[in-house]
Chains A and B, each alone.
Chain A
């Protein structure tokens, strides 16, 4: 027996914990706080743009908001929130008792948190103002000597290290710690996407770590990697940045695909359609996602053949993405669909992400991109991918796993209200932005003239963004209320398929007293069927072989 050592309680139990579940909760809570902060920044920008020639914020503040919003949402919310889900769920779904390297796991969380704090301290002197892409030479010391860019560089280093450390841990855990009987072909699809996420992080993040180190030495130690006046080249920055930056998009969307691939079979009462195709398309997206980076650079001085190659690779990556959508639809087809909040958000993901996918293909047609690049059309596109895709997936995951994490159900009524408010607000905000871009409104401008005819559209977009904010806050309220007053969930409220539902809600420190033997893609369903057939308790049917 273990347990003779006294465990610290209270806040100390969080500070020193190496329990993957506690670390997962800390990840989820702190990234969600960053999400709310980034959302407020977006709303201030929308307020500024609600009227032509508005004077609410000055240009430098606006550029700061642009940079903080993008950086926060990407590096402090979407990427690490999936690390939070994965931390909590991967060991449970695999039937493991913790991550492979629990202390490394704690390190990756604290690196993230301190990266975020180091970045936000810049608010007190001068936030970065070169956008989340920090293109050189603008981000060089000649143009932005203030420390904001340095704070951004430190954020990239700390959160990047956090992600890489976390990714190595996930890879080791997934390769080595699966329950007996869980071959690659029986691994939950969410875990497949976390594997793709982790490999992409390990492959892509070193490029930006190198790039920001070069920027740091350019800024402070007299090197000239990106300085054209001294023989450097700003194109090098863009290549290094997007070599990381495009895989980053797949890092941010694959786990959302994984979440809804778990949700559809549970709420359609029907197995996932084409398990192998979905797993294979995850691997294909991760692989081809590494080869499309220069489609962010179609307007830079490059020979046509380069543009053509990256356009074609971008078309190729659209195929496995389309395959996933067809598989999800086929999973729902002829199912018995139970309309609970997780399903709403998962279906919302399909209906919104498909718009982002189509606009992505339009943008990959590079002569068309010459018109649309760096306009509000692109702003609309990334938000249909990252909000309509990733964030709807994240909310689906919150509603799906909250009962497991807290032992209590979220309110269905508030959940559905939140979904519809968010869906309407989201489309009101971003659908019209396609038209703004088509009619020539560049992104990242703090004001626009009355003569452009953009004022009405911008006002609609601003109203929509506040509705979207209200929708998000309904879920926040739902979480706060349900933590104390929510209905007790029990082990398996959804009649789900995967092993996290085999243990208690919330799970005990050691996760499982009995590690179940896995015989299919749906081990929990097997256990439920066995319990029904034999009448024996779940613990004994789960492991018939001693």
Chain B
């Protein structure tokens, strides 16, 4: 037995979805009207001018534009339907439509088609983002050919030459090892020359970290036992002055995760070489000091075996 103790359903004066549309519409207006200065509110960072970062930026903008079309299409259709077909005083009983096969095949094909377009754009642009370019004229002259590892498949630049840096993530700092006889290394700051293709071999010695400087393109995870790869090339600015780009570890790596920063400093090649020489000297001095203090300590303090043996002799 069905009994309805309720008042019959009455039309509602407030159309739903309207506020949604207003809110999201306001956001969209902001997007369209956004001046160039606000570009990074809507698109990824790419201020360095590194070709991979610019490639990602462009690819994002294309996919984002298609996404906005779909977004507006769905939201407008939803809001229009809700407002237009809300129950009114004299709404007729709606037609009992159960489907429309050609229409349904149509929109399935349209959705698939849009995704085929996105996939195609992605694969067309992939090479420019994934594959390192050669150094630009004026970059650091590089002598030796690049060594290649096969763990991932980033190819060598067409010239076969790049400044190859070994990146090591640790709780909570980054160590950079530079190529060459001097076995140069640095912590926190990676110093690189302008216009020079820099390839990175990224690993970790403890937990998983992720190396990421937003302005220099995508992040790559630093995983113990694995070697990951990425690259960048920072063009020389008009004024030729040093530029630096900050980044933060992107994978939760423990208590110090939020303070796991790193920085890339880009210099004109001549200044880079001067820095390299200074750094090599500083490392040599530090190592000598360390060796000396160790010798001094060993001379001053008897070792435990000496104590043990001392009583017997």
Q: Chain A interface (Cβ within 8 Å of chain B)?
A: 59-60, 63, 66, 129-131, 135-138, 143, 228-229, 233-235, 268-277, 299-304, 308, 311-312, 315-316, 318-319, 322-323, 325-327, 329-330, 332-340, 343-344, 347-348, 350-351, 354-355, 358-359, 361-362, 365-375, 409, 416, 420, 423-424, 427, 431, 435, 438-440, 442-448, 487-495, 527-528, 531, 537-539
Cβ of B250 and Cβ of A373 under 8 Å apart?
yes
Residues of B contacting A424 in the complex (Cβ-Cβ under 8 angstroms): 19, 23
The residue in chain A whose Cβ has the minimal distance to the Cβ of B43 is A438
The residue in chain A whose Cβ has the minimal distance to the Cβ of B15 is A339
Cβ of B19 and Cβ of A420 under 8 Å apart?
yes
Closest CB in chain A relative to B49 CB, distance in Å: 15
Residues of A contacting B17 in the complex (Cβ-Cβ under 8 angstroms): 347, 351
Residues of B contacting A59 in the complex (Cβ-Cβ under 8 angstroms): 255-258
Cβ of A371 and Cβ of B94 under 8 Å apart?
no
Residues of B contacting A490 in the complex (Cβ-Cβ under 8 angstroms): 2-6
Closest CB in chain A relative to B185 CB, distance in Å: 22
Kindly identify which residue among B60, B104, B111 contacts A371, using a CB–CB cutoff of 8 Å: B60
Residues of B contacting A487 in the complex (Cβ-Cβ under 8 angstroms): 5-6
Most chain A CB within a 10 A radius of its CB, from B171, B217, B226: B226
> How many angstroms between the C-alpha atoms of A45 and B243 in the bound complex?
34
Closest CB in chain B relative to A503 CB, distance in Å: 10
| Contact A438-B40, Cβ < 8 Å, known A300-B223, A445-B258 | yes
| Contact A446-B258, Cβ < 8 Å, known A273-B99, A361-B67, A371-B217 | yes
A-B contact count (CB 8 A): 316
The residue in chain B whose Cβ has the minimal distance to the Cβ of A133 is B252
Q: Chain B interface (Cβ within 8 Å of chain A)?
A: 1-6, 9, 11-12, 14-17, 19-20, 23-24, 27, 40-45, 53, 55-56, 59-60, 63-64, 67, 70-71, 74-75, 77-78, 81-82, 85-87, 91-100, 103-104, 107-108, 111-112, 115, 118-119, 122-123, 125-126, 129-130, 151-153, 171, 206-208, 210, 212, 214, 217-221, 223-230, 247-258
Cβ of B78 and Cβ of A493 under 8 Å apart?
no
Residues of A contacting B93 in the complex (Cβ-Cβ under 8 angstroms): 269, 336
> How many angstroms between the C-alpha atoms of A326 and B104 in the bound complex?
8
| Contact A440-B248, Cβ < 8 Å, known A325-B74, A326-B107, A339-B15 | yes
> How many angstroms between the C-alpha atoms of A344 and B15 in the bound complex?
10
> How many angstroms between the C-alpha atoms of A448 and B246 in the bound complex?
13
| Contact A270-B63, Cβ < 8 Å, known A370-B218, A445-B257 | no
> How many angstroms between the C-alpha atoms of A354 and B17 in the bound complex?
14
Cβ of A135 and Cβ of B224 under 8 Å apart?
no
Cβ of A351 and Cβ of B75 under 8 Å apart?
yes
Cβ of B94 and Cβ of A435 under 8 Å apart?
no
- Additional A-B contacts beyond A354-B70, A489-B6, A493-B6 (13; CB < 8 A): A135-B207, A138-B207, A274-B100, A316-B115, A319-B112, A326-B111, A354-B71, A371-B219, A374-B210, A444-B252, A444-B257, A491-B2, A539-B1
Kindly identify which residue among A136, A339, A348, A367 contacts B12, using a CB–CB cutoff of 8 Å: A339
Cβ of A332 and Cβ of B59 under 8 Å apart?
no
| Contact A271-B97, Cβ < 8 Å, known A138-B207, A358-B71, A368-B56 | yes
Kindly identify which residue among B16, B96, B126 contacts A270, using a CB–CB cutoff of 8 Å: B96
> How many angstroms between the C-alpha atoms of A260 and B91 in the bound complex?
23
The residue in chain B whose Cβ has the minimal distance to the Cβ of A304 is B153
Kindly identify which residue among A301, A337, A448 contacts B221, using a CB–CB cutoff of 8 Å: A301
Residues of A contacting B44 in the complex (Cβ-Cβ under 8 angstroms): 368, 371-372, 438
Closest CB in chain B relative to A403 CB, distance in Å: 9
> How many angstroms between the C-alpha atoms of A493 and B9 in the bound complex?
9
Cβ of A374 and Cβ of B251 under 8 Å apart?
yes
> How many angstroms between the C-alpha atoms of A187 and B309 in the bound complex?
88
Closest CB in chain A relative to B248 CB, distance in Å: 5
Kindly identify which residue among B129, B251, B256 contacts A135, using a CB–CB cutoff of 8 Å: B251
The residue in chain A whose Cβ has the minimal distance to the Cβ of B27 is A431
Cβ of A367 and Cβ of B122 under 8 Å apart?
yes
A-B contact pairs, 10 of them (CB 8 A): A138-B208, A270-B95, A299-B250, A304-B153, A334-B97, A359-B67, A365-B59, A368-B60, A423-B19, A489-B6
| Contact A234-B85, Cβ < 8 Å, known A354-B74, A367-B59 | no
> How many angstroms between the C-alpha atoms of A445 and B250 in the bound complex?
9
> How many angstroms between the C-alpha atoms of A361 and B95 in the bound complex?
35
Residues of B contacting A493 in the complex (Cβ-Cβ under 8 angstroms): 4, 6
Kindly identify which residue among A63, A442, A531 contacts B255, using a CB–CB cutoff of 8 Å: A63
Cβ of B60 and Cβ of A138 under 8 Å apart?
no
Residues of B contacting A347 in the complex (Cβ-Cβ under 8 angstroms): 16-17, 78, 82
> How many angstroms between the C-alpha atoms of A316 and B116 in the bound complex?
9
Cβ of A336 and Cβ of B41 under 8 Å apart?
no
| Contact A329-B77, Cβ < 8 Å, known A335-B85, A445-B248 | yes
Cβ of B227 and Cβ of A130 under 8 Å apart?
no
Closest CB in chain A relative to B183 CB, distance in Å: 24
Cβ of B42 and Cβ of A329 under 8 Å apart?
no
Q: Which 9 A-B pairs have the closest CB atoms?
A: A370-B218, A228-B225, A339-B12, A440-B214, A445-B258, A322-B111, A358-B67, A301-B228, A228-B224
Residues of A contacting B14 in the complex (Cβ-Cβ under 8 angstroms): 339, 416
Closest CB in chain A relative to B81 CB, distance in Å: 5
Cβ of B27 and Cβ of A138 under 8 Å apart?
no
Closest CB in chain B relative to A488 CB, distance in Å: 5
Cβ of A358 and Cβ of B82 under 8 Å apart?
no
Kindly identify which residue among B85, B108, B219 contacts A268, using a CB–CB cutoff of 8 Å: B85
| Contact A301-B255, Cβ < 8 Å, known A312-B119, A367-B125 | no
Closest CB in chain B relative to A325 CB, distance in Å: 6
Cβ of A269 and Cβ of B86 under 8 Å apart?
no
Closest CB in chain A relative to B145 CB, distance in Å: 23
